[in-house]
Amino acid sequence: MRQVLFGGAAALAMALAGCNQTTEAAKVDAATFLANAEKELSEYSDYASRVSWVNANFITDDTDWLVARAGSEGTLMSVRLANATKAYEGQTLTPAQQRKMNILRSGITMPAPSTGTPEEQKATADELSEVMTRISSTYGKGKFTIDGKEMNLEELSAIIASSRDPRKLQQAWEGWHTISVPMKTDYARMVEIGAAGAKELGFSDIADMWLANYDMPSKDMEATVEKLWGQVQPLYDDLHCYVRGRLNTRYGDAIQPKTGPIRADLLGNMWAQDWGNITDIVSPSSSNPGYDLNKVLVAKKYDPVKMVKTGEAFFTSLGLPALPETFWQRSLITRPQDREVQCHASAWDIDSLDDIRIKMCTQVNAEDFSTVHHELGHNFYQRAYKTQDFLFRNGAHDGFHEAIGDFIALSITPEYLKQLGLISVDPPASADMGLLMDRALKKIAFLPFAIKLDKWRWNVFRGSVTPEQYNTAWWELSKQYQGIVPPGPRPADAFDAGAKYHIPGNTPYLRYFLSFVLQFQFHKAACEQAGWTGPLHRCSIYNNREVGAKFIKMLEMGASQPWPDALEAFTGTREMDASALVAYFAPLQSWMKEQNAGQTCGW
Ligand SMILES: [Zn+2]
């Protein structure tokens, strides 16, 4: 993930909209207004980033207080600026000016309306803030007691990941899903306030506002998402069918029937969004890659800093400048022993220039090796667009920002590991099914989950799903997209959507779906530019300056142009297209089709 102070979750999570400034004439011309706004935002960002950084690195009551205060200042500022753009509606603006106005107007995640007296306005804003804080902290503090032991999400997730006892799985799954019951009333109230706020800013609802960040009308963006899903759905269906068959073999008809949806608690992850923990059940047994990266990294004496240096070397091999000295002085790369820190990996851009950092409690294993590349992707992107105007120092859209590092990580092939001296023998083609299955369990299983999450939220924001229907709608979509069902009947008061962080945390989720599509699209285009003719999963663009030059061109554009322009600069195409993802997994898909012969796929 990326720590964002403007245009994203942190400071703009809630905001007060309105003030009826539409009728007020502009006090200064558009150019002056925007220059002032960017100066103010940039100064705020310098300050608020440092406050957040200190808080994340030293969690105390005092730093919590500081970060709440900085957040509230940011909220007031962003709302004031969003409203002020109304005075320039209908004026002739340059494309860049119009773009900046749109960024100011639609970059708020949850706006509050401004009806009534100033006191009433403040009361509404305060209520929204309280409701959102309460939902978030309910999630953060969520615990469930099993056999006298109180367990948090980490502990319950460990059971879901490693237990193969359906009774224990069901208990842990149902246990975690009790924590969100108290959030439901607050969530409905938040949606109610936000809907009024979005309307005041000129959007039909919050969904419309979220979808307005993609350089096209909201309904076109929604249609684009449907098109992309349609491209990958057959691949997901094959994976679903194959995994269901293996689960049936493992657990028997009473637990997982041969037909119909999959029981959600059997897939190794609390939300069934990543199936990487059940490789022992589903991996093709004949397909051993011959090495285990977890063990290799340890054997070759990698430490956390060496992991990050290795990640950096991939980016510099493409022609990007090395990370600044301050990155190494100021980043948090290992968990400190003496204090509480937020260990969830993140990338930071403190001064929007050169002071970039990561914060992660790096472990020497394959997963963190991949995460290092993901986080550095954010940092190298940030550094590449630092000369843009402040409002354009951002990803072409939010999916791009998440896709950069993952795209690089797709080049961590056996051949690349050999170049690093980590392995000495390139595994044979027969090992490919295992490697591809590992990736599919993470990347393909995730797609319908990501779609479902925001589809549910869009329906809620539009009022087509009412609070009474929250849970049934959640499971209808879960069944429709993921083909999963809960392990047992759900209680009448359940609010299962709230058991996933991004619902109480109010973080838009579409970006992750788009990022998964884009990273394969980048990879395929890059491999073609490199003249690669072999299978895509064996292609690494390490050390390819020619590919790097085009890649850097896209990075340097930041958010200064509509995203199709940025996409074109690197890949030569202007549309998001999931066919690269499908092509990447083509060998696995044919293999799964053979395995699925005779099964009734679908649900
Ligand atoms: Zn990220």
Condensed to tens digits (0 to 9), the pLDDT of residues 181-238 reads 999 999 999 999 999 989 988 899 999 999 999 999 999 999 999 999 999 999 999 9
Residue 23, C-beta contacts closer than 8 angstroms, at least 6 positions apart? none
Give the residue-averaged pLDDT of 334-353: 86
Percent of the chain with pLDDT over 70: 96
Residue 19 has pLDDT above 70, yes or no: no
Task: Report yes or no: 519 and 410 within 8 Å, Cβ to Cβ.
Answer: yes
Condensed to tens digits (0 to 9), the pLDDT of residues 345-373 reads 899 999 999 999 999 989 899 889 999 99
Condensed to tens digits (0 to 9), the pLDDT of residues 451-468 reads 999 999 999 999 999 999
Q: How confident is the model at residue 244 (pLDDT cuts 50, 70, 90)?
A: very high
pLDDT for 122: 75
CA of 511 to the centre of ligand 1 (A): 10
Q: How confident is the model at residue 6 (pLDDT cuts 50, 70, 90)?
A: very low
CA of 5 to the centre of ligand 1 (A): 14
Task: Report yes or no: 59 and 341 within 8 Å, Cβ to Cβ.
Answer: yes
CA of 491 to the centre of ligand 1 (A): 35
Q: Quote the Cα angle for 21-25-29, to 5°.
A: 115
CA of 328 to the centre of ligand 1 (A): 20
Residue 10 has pLDDT above 50, yes or no: no
pLDDT for 131: 87
Residue 22 has pLDDT above 70, yes or no: no
Residue 55 has pLDDT above 80, yes or no: yes
The amino acid that residue 280 corresponds to is D
Average pLDDT, the chain: 91
pLDDT for 589: 97
- What's the CA gap between 84 and 95, in Å, rounded? 18
Residue 415 has pLDDT above 50, yes or no: yes
Q: Which residues of 413-431 are buried (b: 16+ CB within 10 A; e: fewer)?
A: bbbbbbeeebbeeebeeeb
pLDDT for 25: 66
Burial status of residue 344 (CB atoms within 10 A of its CB: 0-12, 13-18, 19 or more): exposed
Whether 502 is a known active-site residue: answer yes
pLDDT for 200: 85
Residue 4 has pLDDT above 90, yes or no: no
ipTM: 1.00
Q: How confident is the model at residue 29 (pLDDT cuts 50, 70, 90)?
A: very high
- What is the 8-class DSSP label of residue 358? E
Residue 321 has pLDDT above 90, yes or no: yes
- Of 374, 401, 502, 537, which one is the catalytic site residue? 502
- Of 38, 222, 312, 375, which one is the catalytic site residue? 375
Give the residue-averaged pLDDT of 333-340: 85
CA of 402 to the centre of ligand 1 (A): 5
CA of 335 to the centre of ligand 1 (A): 19
Set out the domains of the chain in order of their start, with CATH numbers. 9-134+186-202 (no CATH), 293-429+511-595 (1.10.1370.40)
Burial status of residue 599 (CB atoms within 10 A of its CB: 0-12, 13-18, 19 or more): middle
More confident residue, 201 or 273: 273
Give the residue-averaged pLDDT of 132-160: 89
